[in-house]
Structure 1
C-alpha cells in the first residue's frame, strides 16, 4: 500500500484559499494540526488535516472568531449544533445588513447617474420629482438617523429674490414636528419648471443658484424659487474644489 500523500504549506494554503501565514497562525492557536517532514522539518498536511482545516476556514469566513474556535476540537455533536445555530442566526443578520447596503448602493448609483446626465445635458423642462419640503430642525433627534441612512432626503429651498440664502429642508418626509416649507401643487405639470444641477460649496457660502435663475429667465420662465434634493458630493475635475450637488427644479410663476 502506498504511503498517504502529504501536502506542503503552499499547496494547503492554495486549496483552502488562505495565506500560508494564516495557516501558521491557526497552528499556533491550536486550531490546525500539522506534521513535520522528517527530512527537512517543513510543515506537511495529510488529507485529514486539510479537511479539518477546511472546517476552520469555513467558520472564519462566516465570521466566527479565532477565540471562539479554540475549543472547536472539543465540541460534542450537541455543542457543535448549538454553535451552528448561533452562526446561522448571525449570518442571517449579516445577510439582512448586506441587502440593506446593496439597496443603498443601488440608490446612490441612481443618484450619480442623474448627476452625470444633468451635468452632460444641462437644464430641461420637467415637473419636480420632489413633492414637498419640510423645515429641518436640528433639535429633532430622528432627523439624524434619517439623513445618515437616506442622505437624499436632505433638501434645500432658495427663493429667486434671495439666491444667496439657502434654506435647509427635509425632502419627502412625513415627520409630524417638521413645519412645511413648500409643497408640489396639483397643477405642477402645467407650470413652467426647469430641472437642473445645482452646485453648492461645502460651507454653503456660494452656489450656482443665481446662474440657474438667469438660465430660467433666458428660457422664458419667471422664477419664483428653487427646490432640490441632495445627490452627492464630488470634486470638480478642473480646479479641484469639492462641492455638494443637488437635483433641483426652478419653479416658475409664468412664462415671461
Structure 2
C-alpha cells in the first residue's frame, strides 16, 4: 500500500498552511482521499507531486485557475501562456527599475541637503541649462515634476529679489521647443555659490534667502538666483521646503 500523509505532515513538509491546501482542494486543484470514518484528508505520493507543481507554477506568477487548467493546454498553448507571463514580469521589472531610480534620486536629495547644511557657500557650476515657466494646469510639465521634483525651480535676481518666477528646468535641446516668452532663465555663466535655502510652510512662507544673500554680498557681486527643490520635511517641529540654491557670482 502506498504511504499516505496527513494534512499536518504535508503542511509542515512544504511549509504551506493547511488552510491553503484546503483552498487548493476547494478550487479543484488537489483531490486528497478522505477517510470514511472521520473524513480526515490523506495525501498520496501523486498529491505531493501535484503540490510541488502548484508551488512551482505559483512561483512563476501563474494564477490558480491557470494552474488548474494546465493539463488541458496543448504545448503551443503552454508556450503562449509562459510568454505572456514573461512579458508581464518584464513590465513589472521596468516599473520596479523606474521606482528604484526615483528612490535613489530622493535619497540623493537628502544627501545634498546634508552636504549643503554642513558646508555652505561652495563655488560650483550650475546643473541646469534653462528654466521655462510652469503652471500647475500644464499637464505635461506637471507630469515632469511628478517624475522628478528636483526639476521644479525658482528664478530670482539679486537686484529684484521679491520678483520671483517659478518654472521647470529643461535641457538646452528641449528649450528650443518652447516659445521665447516662456523661458525664464538661460545659463550664461557657470560660476555660482551654493547653499541650502529653507522656506517655512506657514503664513507668508518666510525663507532665509535674504540672510544668505546678504552674507555672500559682503564679498561678491551677485546676479541670478536659482533655487531647485529638494524635499519637504520637518525641523524642530516646523515644516519646511528645502531648496538647493545657486547664486550667480559676477566678475
**Shorter-normalised TM range:** 0.7 to 0.9
> In 2, distance between residues paired with 1:14 and 1:200?
59
Partner of 2:246: 249
- Structure 1 residue runs of 5 or longer lacking an equivalent are none
> In 1, distance between residues paired with 2:34 and 2:57?
26
2:124/2:190 contact within 8 Å kept:
no
2:6/2:42 contact within 8 Å kept:
yes
> In 2, distance between residues paired with 1:38 and 1:153?
71
> In 1, distance between residues paired with 2:220 and 2:81?
67
Partner of 2:209: 209
The 1:129/1:77 distance shift into structure 2, 3 A limit, reads same
Shift of 1:37: 6.9
The 1:78/1:231 distance shift into structure 2, 3 A limit, reads same
The 1:232/1:76 distance shift into structure 2, 3 A limit, reads same
Query: What is the correspondence of 1:97-112 to structure 2 with a 5 Å cutoff?
Result: 97-112=95-110
Name the SS of the counterpart of 1:188 in structure 2: coil
Name the SS of the counterpart of 2:95 in structure 1: helix
The 1:229/1:56 distance shift into structure 2, 3 A limit, reads farther
Shift of 1:140: 3.2
Shift of 1:61: 4.2
| Residue 114 (structure 2) pairs with residue 116 (structure 1) | yes
Partner of 1:177: 178
Shift of 1:228: 2.4
The 1:210/1:83 distance shift into structure 2, 3 A limit, reads same
The 1:94/1:132 distance shift into structure 2, 3 A limit, reads same
Count of paired positions:
245
Name the SS of the counterpart of 1:177 in structure 2: coil
- Structure 2 residue runs of 5 or longer lacking an equivalent are none
2:165/2:184 contact within 8 Å kept:
no
2:6/2:40 contact within 8 Å kept:
no
Partner of 1:229: 228
2:4/2:42 contact within 8 Å kept:
no
Q: Determine which of 126, 138, 141 is the counterpart of 1:140.
A: 138
Shift of 1:11: 5.4
1:228/1:249 contact within 8 Å kept:
yes
Name the SS of the counterpart of 2:205 in structure 1: coil
Shift of 1:46: 4.3
1:130/1:229 contact within 8 Å kept:
no
The 1:59/1:115 distance shift into structure 2, 3 A limit, reads farther
The 1:88/1:233 distance shift into structure 2, 3 A limit, reads same
The 1:91/1:222 distance shift into structure 2, 3 A limit, reads same
